[in-house]
Amino acid sequence: MQKRKLGKSNLEVSALGLGCMGLSFGYGPAVDKQQGISLIRAAVERGVTFFDTAEVYGPFTNEELVGEALAPFRDQVVIATKFGFNIDPNTGKQAGLDSSPQHIKEVAEASLKRLKTDVIDLLYQHRVDPNVPIEDTAGAVKDLIQQGKVKHFGLSEAGVQTIRRAHAVQPVAALQSEYSLWWREPEAEVIPTLEELGIGFVPFSPLGKGFLTGAIKEDTQFDKTDFRNIVPRFTPENRKANQAVVDLIGKFAQQKKATPAQIALAWLLAQKPWIVPIPGTTKLHRLEENIGAVAVELTPEDLRQLDIATSKIAVQGARYPEELQKLVGR
């Protein structure tokens, strides 16, 4: 497995990480705990060293799963988790955002316990809290870094002004946001800002929440607890319209003797040397397929052709329902 550094932070990770959310939350029922542990450990055995979780996944259960799975390999892996939501400890329900310094410190202590570790390698603010100056949030993480409880600071789905302000207080190692062949908005402002400041980029949903694999069709039925049921981009009519993107990636995949998922991941890896996608999966064969993307070489001509072809297709439907869209890009 190739390694990459997230910007100037010197945080070295495998070229592909594993997004662990879907093992516990978001895409239907949680997997059996032993199955989740086996999948995470299979990733370690195959060279993956970068694992992504958050207190809100579950809530809490995903951190516990990741902590238990990685305990035997703790010194070989990088664990990223996130704070920023106000979660009722009794019901597990979210009640808005909270990135107040006191709350951050409480969440970090609880995450350390669940993750069975004495240090969090990368601690992200999950969503920007408009009620707390980002300087205060960055300052709280800086304190945790000075105390040796956290190694690196990250932001998720933040806008460029927030990134600059946070970075001035505590250097930001990585930004985690959605980026893929069918969500290219970060190219306008975010990626140039990250390049300028020396911040790594960790794209989540690099396979378009599964759509770019080609496994989801117009008539695919999602589990009732699946987040995609409320995503405008996943209405049956939008899926039908967006199939053109998948068909196009599929043609490239045939030429390269790869799968559509591998082309989508290889495309991301080819954008910048400090980009580390974190595809998630619950299946071992998909994990192996994703890891195979690291060996897929796309030439400058391949990339040019992919750019030209995909730019002609207008993707239909927003990537979030309206109330969730309000939380991004602030």
**In this structure, what DSSP letter does residue 226 have?**
B
CB half-sphere exposure, 307, CA atoms < 13 A = 11
Task: Let me know: does 201 contact 174? Beta carbons within 8 Å.
Answer: yes
Q: What b/e string do you get for 153-185 counting C-beta neighbours within 10 Å, with b at 16 or more?
A: bbbbbbbbebbeebbebbbbbbbbbbbbbbbbe
Q: Cβ contacts of residue 146 below 8 Å, gap of 6+? A: none
Q: What are phi and psi of 81, to 5 degrees?
A: -140, 180
Q: Catalytic residue at 124?
A: no
Task: Tell me how far apart the alpha carbons of residues 136 and 246 are, in angstroms, rounded to a whole number.
Answer: 43
Q: What b/e string do you get for 310-320 counting C-beta neighbours within 10 Å, with b at 16 or more?
A: beebebbeebb
Q: Cβ contacts of residue 307 below 8 Å, gap of 6+? A: none
List 27, 57, 124, 179, catalytic entry: 57
| 3-state SS, residue 231 | coil
Task: Tell me how far apart the alpha carbons of residues 112 and 131 are, in angstroms, rounded to a whole number.
Answer: 26
Task: Tell me how far apart the alpha carbons of residues 10 and 53 are, in angstroms, rounded to a whole number.
Answer: 21
Q: What is the dihedral of CA 265, 268, 274, 279, to 10 degrees?
A: -40
Task: Tell me how far apart the alpha carbons of residues 136 and 129 are, in angstroms, rounded to a whole number.
Answer: 11
CA distance from start to end of the chain = 35
Active site residues: 57
